[in-house]
Amino acid sequence: METKEKFIHRDLSWLEFNYRVLEEAKDERNPLLERTKFLAIFTGNLDEFFMVRMSGVKKLLASGYNKRDQFGFYPQEVFAEIKTRSDEMVKKFYEVYEGSVKQALEAQKIFIKKPADLNPEQKKFAQRFFDTTLYPITTPLAVDPGHPFPVLPSRTIAFAVDIERNDKRHLAIIPVPKAVPRLLKLPAEGDEAVYVLTDYLIKENLASFFKGYKIQEASLFRVLRDSELEVDEGFAPDLLKALEKELKKRPSAKSVYLQMEKGNPELVAVLCNGIDFPQEEVVFITSDLDLTFLYDLSASVDKPHLHYPSFTPARGPYENIFDKIKEEDFIVHLPFQSFLPTSDFITAAAKDPDVLAIKMTLYRTNEDSAIIKALMEAAKRRKQVTVVVEIKARFEEEKNIQWSRELEVAGCHVIYGIAGLKIHSKMALVVRKEEGRIRRYVHLSTGNYNEKTAHVYTDIGFFTVNDDFARDIADVFNVITGYSLPSPWKRVISSPHDLRKYFFDLIDKEMAAQQEHKNGSIVAKMNSLEDAQIIEKLYAASNAGVKIKLLVRGICSLVPGLPGLSENIEVRSIVGRFLEHSRIFYFNNNGNPRCFLSSADWMTRNFDRRIELLFEITKPEIKGHLQFILDTYFKDTRKARLLRANHHYGPIKKEGETFEAQEYFINHYTR
């Protein structure tokens, strides 16, 4: 069987995932303002795809690289496929926005209007906003021999303006200011909500910027640039400074995607020349550019019935988080259960006079983070605070560098990651003096220490005072912060050393159990599956008769249901109200199940280029609950999509009432 038949290319699989996001925007069963958010999510996802994945393919093409990748594709084939597919998706995306979504918004008296369609009072309000706010902060930029084409950072929206004076034509660029939201709410009657985009206001008032010139044409455009940072970590004496230097190059990096309003060919050619972008790859749009402004729309409209019903995450009763953890190991299933035990763990440790040290990893965190503040307070109280900040976390680099500086100033010992590896594991260790002895408290998680995403990402956090866990996590921190070599640990398995092999051994045991007892079974939930080696191992297990059920939210390069290869493998994806982010792995183990949580997906980068942790849950009650979580997800007939052998996803066909796992969990934990 050819490689292309055995694998779905990771980039094409990712585009399929984003199409599932678009399906949520199309789905009229979802609340209307949640549908608009799915359109915004689709936009942000596609931007990142172009800035990272498309840019990588273009680099390969520019270098003359001409070898097949692990999925059997040459770079030219990958580029052609993703260009065709993404163009089709953008077209369908705008059909949804301009069609059913806008119609539904207007039916609910929510309008995004052009200046010409405003009533006199609204026009006056919009013009006053332009005169007093927009005009002073908007800067027209000439393009001529004395003024080179301006540097436009990635995601810039701007006007290309063709102006004329004394029979001479000139080009000017007007970036749409980012200092104010693009969506301006206007006065309206009754329960109407009326908005206008700042883009429209600038276009309406272009003559204000070019007095004495005649405007021939103006086209709005948007550019995306390569956002991958290239730091030779092995030769960078100071990783932080090297990364800061690379970040400064981002605004002028190679352009990888260009959207614009239809303009005359001459204007398009001049713009493409200035941006250094192939004219034949321009994507022309007849609607609004960059629909991420729909986040603001959703937040601004005061119509609760157009949103998901709110709920309060369940919070188990406890007076003291340390007493709670000492009492028994427990898990927290976010966002259905509260993130408070996690933030309390660090904030209480900061204030507790008996706590001697705090160690934790930070990959992505949020603005105004209570955890960051607690770590600073702990350091000021003279506790030993060690924070491993992964400054190479994509699109979080500047924020993480800022946190690092502030933590250092507060007195924390900050580690800026490890050369050649990303520290993606999520762990915290609190060392406390109790009754003449030292006790270590551990928190491990499938997701980040981020209070904001904890409301919208499904993750699982695990709390324990188990000595074996405590010793292992202390050793992991020593490996990261010092020169200690990884040793055989009792309760955790890590990448890049042992993780892939450990999973292979677990799969081999299921194959042996299937051969001897006919009960080989694997159930796994993750974000992405694209590592060719583990896919081949799963194919071997399927051929041996092992029943395999996979819940993979995003990329899945495995092809299920192929005769003689993957007949015993089922793959589902759930895209819903919350982003499915937890990683759970369940092996039947001849009727004595083993269950694991992890920070790692089954991706090559997680196995080979990141520090990740896998840890086994042995407490029967927790293990049983994790099995219940997996079983519940596989009952979903509302949001789940089934991956078929033709590489495409389709709905779960079932007669009668539908079942939605995420909605069930909300009710289950809060009843």
What 3-state DSSP class applies to 504?
A: helix
Q: What DSSP designation does 32 have?
A: H
Say if residues 241 and 267 touch (Cβ distance below 8 Å): no
CA 376, CA 392: separation in Å to the nearest integer? Answer: 22
* Amino acid identity at 231: V
CA 446, CA 460: separation in Å to the nearest integer? Answer: 6
**Inter-helix orientation angle 397-410/370-380, to 10°:** 30
Whose tokens are 């183990």? That residue is 589
CA 526, CA 315: separation in Å to the nearest integer? Answer: 25
CA 49, CA 255: separation in Å to the nearest integer? Answer: 13
Whose tokens are 């979903």? That residue is 636
* Amino acid identity at 335: P
CA 322, CA 320: separation in Å to the nearest integer? Answer: 6
Cα–Cα nearest to 474, from 448, 492, 460, 447:
492
CA 396, CA 402: separation in Å to the nearest integer? Answer: 10
Strand partners, 442: 429, 464
Say if residues 11 and 53 touch (Cβ distance below 8 Å): yes
- Tokens standing for residue 253: 């990096």
Q: How many Cα atoms sit within 13 Å of 331 on the Cβ side?
A: 29
- Tokens standing for residue 422: 């990303």
CA distances, 17 to each of 24, 334, 600 (Å): 11, 22, 19
* Catalytic entry in 333, 424, 443, 581: 424
In 326-484, DSSP assigns E strands to 330-334, 355-362, 384-389, 413-415, 422-423, 426-434, 437-445, 457-464
Say if residues 588 and 610 touch (Cβ distance below 8 Å): no
* Residues ≥6 apart with Cβ < 8 Å to 389: 361, 362, 400, 403, 404, 407, 414, 415, 416, 417
647 catalytic per annotation = no
Q: How many Cα atoms sit within 13 Å of 475 on the Cβ side?
A: 17
- Tokens standing for residue 595: 């269950």
- 280: number of Cβ within 10 Å: 6
Cα–Cα nearest to 156, from 173, 140, 139, 176:
176
Whose tokens are 């605004």? That residue is 251
Cα–Cα nearest to 362, from 396, 387, 399:
387
CA distances, 564 to each of 82, 235, 514, 536, 543 (Å): 29, 48, 17, 13, 7
CA 425, CA 484: separation in Å to the nearest integer? Answer: 17
CA 107, CA 20: separation in Å to the nearest integer? Answer: 25
Cα–Cα nearest to 570, from 523, 617, 624:
523
**At 156, phi and psi to the nearest 5?**
-70, 135
Say if residues 335 and 313 touch (Cβ distance below 8 Å): yes
Residues annotated as part of the active site: 424
